[in-house]
Amino acid sequence: PKDIRNSGNIPRYVRVNILKTNVEEIIKHFCEQDGYRCIDEPTDLTDLRQTIKRDVHIPELLVFPPNTDLHDHGLLLSGHIILQDKASCFPAYILSPPKDAHVIDACAAPGNKTTHLSAIMKNTGKIWAFDIDRKRLDLLKTLTERAGYIEAIHCSFLNVDPKDDKFANVEYILLDPSCSGSGIVSRLDCLIDSLENNLVSNKEQKTCHPKDARLQHLSEFQTQLILHAFKCTYLSRVPSVKKVTYSTCSIHAEENERVVKEILQTTDDFVLADRDKVIPSWERRGDNNELAEDTAQKLIRTSPEDSTNGFFVACFVRKVKQYGSNI
């Protein structure tokens, strides 16, 4: 699949931290201080030279030319902008918890999506951010240290009691678990090279082309996490969770459509949100070789062909009439 090779051509995406500033201010800064030219209308990704564009799908996302180096930029160091790939902005945007919501970010570190959630919630409500990796969670704590409504907790989400009264009002859960990472462009190139040349050493094969057993293990773990998230209840009985996004940066159906298929076969309580609630203008949908066309249409896939990394998002909603109108 040579056409998906796009290393180095993925734009530099910049998410504006709308808790500190706004998109107009950031564009003004880049134009006046750094000599950029802004194409001021939402647009697709054709000519990127020396320009900044607003992203056509995510309102607070700006698109810079590929390889733009902003790592030392003052706006990044001051937390006014965040470097985040476009596809990785989709889960929080799709979950879109309202102001004052109670939210769980189940696999949260280093916190890109946690901070995106808090921006969407305008610094209100409560976010519990879990992660099993202490070092990564320390990064999240640094990123969110002045946000008292974000509680970082070092543990496996699978060990969290979803019936704890603390979580009684949790209605939204973002699940972005560990995955093979096969959608990340540098790894995709590696995967394609190994398939094309068939010249790789065993060691390379291990990192570039995950074995079936590893994918199987990951997909079982991912399925377990989703089912655990569905268990959050109020007073140990009344369902509270009504919307759960599941995402991976994997291109493997085992971690994507097949996990969704397994979940839909296991639960009677959740269904996939309709396509019109899941970035309807995004064209690349789930793989219809894996699921019926109407089901696949409710899922999102992204690829370097879309100028972003390979990514997958599913959005589950509770199958209860009373929630129908506000999700």
Catalytic residues: 249
Residue nearer to ligand SAM on the CB measure, 153 or 320:
153
Q: How far apart are CA 94 and CA 267, in angstroms?
A: 21
Residue nearer to ligand SAM on the CB measure, 112 or 302:
112
Tell me if 220 sits within 8 A of 184, measured CB to CB. Answer: no
Q: State which of residues 136, 141, 231, 284 lies at the interface with ligand SAM (CB under 6 A).
A: 136
Residue nearest to ligand SAM (CB): 107
Question: Looking at the DSSP assignment, which residues form a beta bridge with residue 173?
Answer: 104, 244
Residues in 160-199 at the binding interface with ligand SAM, rule: CB under 6 A: 176-178
Helices (H), 121-250: 134-143, 185-197, 202-208, 212-229
Number of residues that bind ligand SAM (CB under 6 A): 19
Residue nearer to ligand SAM on the CB measure, 131 or 255:
131
β-strand pairing of 37-39 with 150-154: unpaired
Q: State which of residues 4, 38, 56, 132 lies at the interface with ligand SAM (CB under 6 A).
A: 132
Q: How far apart are CA 22 and CA 108, in angstroms?
A: 25
Closest approach of ligand SAM to the CB of residue 181, in Å: 8
Would you count residue 39 as binding ligand SAM (CB under 6 A)? no
In this structure, which amino acid lies at residue 142? T
Residue burial 191-219, b: 16+ Cβ < 10 Å; e: rest? bbebeeeeebeeeeeeebbbeeeebeebb
Closest approach of ligand SAM to the CB of residue 46, in Å: 28
Residue 40 counted as an annotated binding residue: no
Closest CA to 94 of 122, 115, 80, 113: 113
Q: State which of residues 11, 110, 210, 286 lies at the interface with ligand SAM (CB under 6 A).
A: 110
Indicate the helix (H) or strand (E) that contains 28.
helix 23-34
Residues in 224-283 at the binding interface with ligand SAM, rule: CB under 6 A: none
Q: How far apart are CA 16 and CA 98, in angstroms?
A: 19
Residue 111 counted as an annotated binding residue: yes
Piece of the chain touching ligand SAM by CB under 6 A; list 23-31, 126-134, 162-170, 298-306: 126-134
Closest approach of ligand SAM to the CB of residue 130, in Å: 5
Residue nearer to ligand SAM on the CB measure, 55 or 176:
176
Q: State which of residues 30, 93, 157, 230 lies at the interface with ligand SAM (CB under 6 A).
A: 157
At residue 53, the 3 state secondary structure works out as: strand
Residue nearer to ligand SAM on the CB measure, 131 or 171:
131
Q: How far apart are CA 233 and CA 77, in angstroms?
A: 40
Residue 210 counted as an annotated binding residue: no
Residue 110 counted as an annotated binding residue: yes
Piece of the chain touching ligand SAM by CB under 6 A; list 125-133, 191-199, 211-219, 261-269: 125-133
Would you count residue 131 as binding ligand SAM (CB under 6 A)? yes
CA distances from 89 to 16, 135, 196, 266 (A): 11, 23, 31, 28
Would you count residue 107 as binding ligand SAM (CB under 6 A)? yes
Closest approach of ligand SAM to the CB of residue 127, in Å: 12
Q: Where are the beta strands (DSSP E) in 47-176?
A: 51-54, 61-64, 81-83, 102-105, 126-131, 150-154, 170-175
Q: Is the dihedral of CA 95, 261, 250, 56 positive or negative?
A: negative
Please state the residue numbers annotated as binding site for S-adenosyl-L-methionine: 107-113, 131, 176
Contact positions vs ligand SAM (CB under 6 A): 106-113, 130-133, 136, 156-158, 176-178
